[in-house]
Structure 1
Amino acid sequence: MSTTRRQVLLIGGLGVLGAGAAMWPTGSIEAKSVSRLSSDQMPRPFRVPFVQAPILPPYATGTDPADGLPVNYYRVTEKAAVANILPRLGTPVLGYNGLFPGPTISLDRGTKSVVRVRNQLPARHALDGHALSTSTHLHGSASLPQYDGYASDITHPGFYKDYRYANAQPARTLWYHDHGVHFTSLNAYSGLAAQYHVHDPIERRLLPQGRYDVALTISDAMFAADGSLGYDDNDHSGLWGDVILVNGKPWPVMKVQKRVYRLRILNASISRALRPVLSTGDPLVIVATDGGLMPAAQSVSNYRHAGAERYEVLVDFRKYSTGQRIELRNLSNENNVDYDFTHKIMAFDVTDEPVDTSDPTWNRIPTVLAGSETMSLQTGQSIKTRYFRTKRNDATNMWTINDDSWRDVIASGYKRAVANPALNSVEIWQIENSSGGWFHPLHIHLVDFQIIGRNGRGPFAWERGPKDTVYIGERETVRLLMKFTPHKGVYMMHCHNLPHEDHDMMVQFRVGLRESDVDPNDPMTAARPVWDDVAG
């Protein structure tokens, strides 16, 4: 299969990339590097300290007069900035509040939030000149359609939009990221991504909190000679960088006490899938998936982790020696492109800092966790089974779901839908990956689902919790069981290999409404952006 170079976008003199970046991922491919950095500027593993993204405090709090529930008010500004990623060169990024990744929002279940997202970005993106209009999606939230980051509901530079979230779901790790139509991959890759945590009493009792509750946002990148980000999506196939970043730092080192830590691992790579493993061979204990706590913890040696998926993992550092280094490594997966150091993620150095043993989570590895409505669903409750196939057109380099795409949605005046489940109905969706040579992390908005089958067998151990994104490998077919609640309206389903989403592997479904119904929560009209007259 031949490739072209027309998808290489130049930034800061990146030029034509090395052969490794041009390969099609028809299997696991290895190359030395792809960045154009000089050897003294190319970062190496375990040279920089780990940093945690800051927690964003609300600028105001209040009470919703409609129901008496508390409300937190937040403000994030999308703007251009320069990140310190490389040894001596600055890297231009786009960030929430200018940070890469953005600040973490953390609150309790039942505390509503109003997040004002201000678009103070330049008019055009530096890579390809596309207009920097954005749409913010809180991934994992059962949001009303007009606050769900509907791709075509964009906010232009100079405007803001207030996103309102109920935060009524059980505790979970969510993340907010750009979802702007046809340019999600470039905007998210440039830095518009951050974590968002919802807590509840069950999760607080069972799992580590505070400094022992650690958010890891993992991504990959490639760089031009001047330190700028490079971008090559291989004719919309995907982008695989040669530098692994954790919270915006290359292969960092974190100092840990001899106790149990909770790692909230988000794969924010726009294409790369991970397979995390500890260098010691000790188990990773999975306690939560996209939609929160699993019914029971799952101890695994490694696991597949696609873009947009979140897994909460317990690691027990009690038995290690002071000064011992434990690496979190990456075994990779089929259909990736790997380089010299992409098999490493980060490292942990064990210290002799005294441990507070009055904290009951310091040595606790819970086995029984928490049930949920999603994981209590039974196949007998399903009233319909729907069938979907992921496809690729070799002639156009376009990706589709059942031959449908977002271009079809736009052409229909945002009416075309691939499914119309009733509100509160339960269905089974079967999705087959027949595109050949690629995996697809498929994300279904609004719902949490239960994976009930994979190629005729049960789900992998690490998937036995509520999910909103499913890894569908090459030649795989998955069966998902879900309840369409709590809102009516239109919602998206798409591949989270973001170049696939942008070209054009995204469709929509309509919950509880007919196409002819007036939709009070129409995502294009119900909550429009507002001109921002505050400078900076």
Structure 2
Amino acid sequence: MAVSRRQVILLGGVGIMGAGAAGAAAVPWGSVEAKSASKLDDRQMPRPYAAEFTQPPVLKPTSVGTDPDDGARIEHYTVTQRAATARILPRLGTPILGYDGIFPGPTIEVERGTRTTLTVRNQLPATHPAHGHVLATSTHLHGSASLPQYDGYANDVTMTGFKKTYHYPNYQPARTLWYHDHSAHFTALNVYSGLAGQYLIHDPQERDLLPQGEFDVGLTISDAMFARDGALSYDDRSRSGLWGDVILVNGVPWPRMKVKRRIYRFRMLNASISRSLRPYLRSGEPLTIVATDGGLMPEAVTVDNWRHAGAERYEVLIDFSKYKAGTRVELRNRSNENNRDYDHTDKIMAFDVVDDPFDTSDPTWNTLPTVLVPDNDVMGLTSSMAVKKRTMRVKRNDKTNLWTLDDQSWGQIIASGFQDVFAQVGLNTVEEWEFENKSGGWFHPMHIHLIDFKVISRNGRAPFPYEVGPKDTVYVGEGEKVKVLMRFGPHQGRYMIHCHNLPHEDHDMMTQFRVGLKANEDDPWDPIQAARPEFDDD
């Protein structure tokens, strides 16, 4: 088990909660004996590669309209947050909180330039069934350049019995986004309970270059630990992080998927609240990364493995034409420093190659692209464009057990009436920020809302090749210094910066920046007041 010294001395209480893929079919589980974090009877422990792979349903719009001002297409969607029971264990149900009662929530797919509204109805219990906190929620579309009042600001919460309609412009290039709860101080518990789903933007360039349809596959990867009764245990080890012993893909433990002998595209989202991954193929064959958080890279990158933190998205091509029918190809996990690992956390899922026919007139079946988007605006930024350079030190206070960003916490932001900021930036200006990890013993996926950034250096050297694409979350390992470059826009207002190890974010590793406006200036985009939730009388 890989455990750092500081993690060994940190102890945390255990509560009970639930997540999983509600409605999953019963599967022929076997028993497995393993050292684990779960308290399940051995007969209840899921067995790697015993369950069939599933994908969440694609959400259909409730209606479609046209913007009267410019004729743009508008699609209207609705999801309902509610409690449900998932079947992810042999004979035990697992309570969850889910969008439409499933985990992951339904996938939303839109074309670039099509605007959407997403009405989120909070029909959850008034308080969390296991932990007792008020289930007020805030939905963040991670990776979207949304207006502040639709960005899922942590204190812009919707209470049980209310609903909020979010507006998304979808003008950004094709990419894999995800929507998840972002309520202040309870993001980790709520996301761990199941409040997460993928949201995809397509465009013609991406459609021409990469596999589509059944060969374009979303993988939402997370980890979990189970109580004896089948509910999820929650042990964040004194707020340092939660590392479960069961790896879930789309809410299914270590699934197996049938694949045809051609190239597939996998949209890999690490939705774990703390665990990072280092995926690789057990066969030793390389994988091709074609897109990062913000969409297509300038060039495809071939890797043996890569470091994948919580909230990061990588779009990966795997060529199954190299394998004979009947071959099993395993997607494995080498893990990273400062995770906690168990007997089977070195496995993610398996692919079983079959000889079924497919359309070979589609050129993506056997073509691994090389040049993708060499003229991406974000990747064209240079340090000479930066009007200011800033350093953010990522720390832990061993006396208070709180995490801070440059000695600032979200509690201080609240106390300031939400006016204090880490940075006051000009609209459409370019800045260079350095994240310096001074916490010792932990890694931190740092996420900046609103913008895509370019990673320009890691510990004074070039970034990893697979990071050379537009990003919104960056892995900052123990003792590392990472520099990023970004242009602030297109909106004005207040946006968050935080660690995406979600127990860190909740306690209290989050701050904010302000674009354009000054402190206490009249703010028509106030993230809490500009678009209030409504009573849900439907």
User: Fold conserved (TM > 0.5)?
Assistant: yes
Alignment-mate amino acid for residue 527 of structure 2 = P
Q: Which residue is equivalent to 2:501?
A: 497
- Asked whether the equivalents of residues 3 and 235 of structure 1 are also in contact (C-alpha less than 8 Å), the reply is no
Alignment-mate amino acid for residue 473 of structure 1 = G
Write out aligned runs for 1:308-323 (5 A).
308-323=311-326
Q: Which residue is equivalent to 1:367?
A: 370
From 11, 14, 17, the counterpart of 1:8: 14
Q: Which residue is equivalent to 1:327?
A: 330
From 266, 274, 277, the counterpart of 2:277: 274
Alignment-mate amino acid for residue 481 of structure 2 = T
1:386-415 deviation digits (Å, cap 9, x = unpaired):
111000011111000000010001000010
For residues 6 and 438 of structure 1, do their structure 2 counterparts lie closer, same or farther at Cα, with a shift above 3 Å needed? closer
The alignment status of 1:103 with 2:119, answered yes or no, reads: no
Q: Which residue is equivalent to 1:397?
A: 401
- Asked whether the equivalents of residues 16 and 231 of structure 2 are also in contact (C-alpha less than 8 Å), the reply is no
For residues 349 and 6 of structure 1, do their structure 2 counterparts lie closer, same or farther at Cα, with a shift above 3 Å needed? closer
Q: Which residue is equivalent to 2:133?
A: 130
Instruction: Tell me the TM-score normalised to structure 1 length.
Output: 0.95
Q: Which residue is equivalent to 2:527?
A: 523
Deviation larger for 131-140 or 119-128 = 119-128
Q: Which residue is equivalent to 1:190?
A: 193
Q: Which residue is equivalent to 2:81?
A: 78
Q: Give 3-state SS (helix, strand or coil) of 1:187's partner.
A: helix
In structure 2, what is the Cα distance between the partners aligned to 1:533 and 1:175?
28
From 221, 226, 232, the counterpart of 2:224: 221
| Alpha-carbon offset, residue 284 of structure 1 | 1.0
In structure 2, what is the Cα distance between the partners aligned to 1:152 and 1:464?
33
For residues 11 and 310 of structure 1, do their structure 2 counterparts lie closer, same or farther at Cα, with a shift above 3 Å needed? closer
Write out aligned runs for 1:26-37 (5 A).
32-37=35-40
Q: Which residue is equivalent to 1:442?
A: 446
- Asked whether the equivalents of residues 258 and 352 of structure 2 are also in contact (C-alpha less than 8 Å), the reply is yes
Deviation larger for 340-349 or 512-521 = 512-521
In structure 1, what is the Cα distance between the partners aligned to 2:69 and 2:294?
27
From 236, 246, 251, the counterpart of 2:249: 246
Write out aligned runs for 1:246-265 (5 A).
246-265=249-268
Q: Give 3-state SS (helix, strand or coil) of 2:291's partner.
A: strand
| Alpha-carbon offset, residue 485 of structure 1 | 1.1
Q: Which runs of 4+ in 1 moved over 3 A?
A: 1-7
In structure 1, what is the Cα distance between the partners aligned to 2:336 and 2:12?
27
In structure 1, what is the Cα distance between the partners aligned to 2:12 and 2:363?
56
Q: Which residue is equivalent to 2:175?
A: 172
- Asked whether the equivalents of residues 7 and 236 of structure 1 are also in contact (C-alpha less than 8 Å), the reply is no
In structure 2, stretches of 5+ residues that fail to align are 1-5, 19-33
Q: Which residue is equivalent to 1:230?
A: 233
Q: Which residue is equivalent to 1:20?
A: none
Q: Which residue is equivalent to 2:55?
A: 52
Q: Give 3-state SS (helix, strand or coil) of 1:318's partner.
A: helix
| Alpha-carbon offset, residue 517 of structure 1 | 1.3
| Alpha-carbon offset, residue 5 of structure 1 | 4.8
In structure 2, what is the Cα distance between the partners aligned to 1:68 and 1:393?
53
For residues 11 and 367 of structure 1, do their structure 2 counterparts lie closer, same or farther at Cα, with a shift above 3 Å needed? closer
Q: Which residue is equivalent to 1:139?
A: 142
Aligned length in residues: 516
| Alpha-carbon offset, residue 385 of structure 1 | 0.2
Write out aligned runs for 1:189-208 (5 A).
189-208=192-211
In structure 1, what is the Cα distance between the partners aligned to 2:368 and 2:264?
10
1:51-82 deviation digits (Å, cap 9, x = unpaired):
01110010100011122100000000000000
Alignment-mate amino acid for residue 485 of structure 1 = G
For residues 5 and 147 of structure 1, do their structure 2 counterparts lie closer, same or farther at Cα, with a shift above 3 Å needed? same
Alignment-mate amino acid for residue 525 of structure 1 = Q
* RMSD, aligned α-carbons: 1.0
- Asked whether the equivalents of residues 17 and 193 of structure 2 are also in contact (C-alpha less than 8 Å), the reply is no
| Alpha-carbon offset, residue 128 of structure 1 | 1.4
In structure 2, what is the Cα distance between the partners aligned to 1:10 and 1:110?
43
The alignment status of 1:341 with 2:344, answered yes or no, reads: yes
Q: Which residue is equivalent to 1:28?
A: none
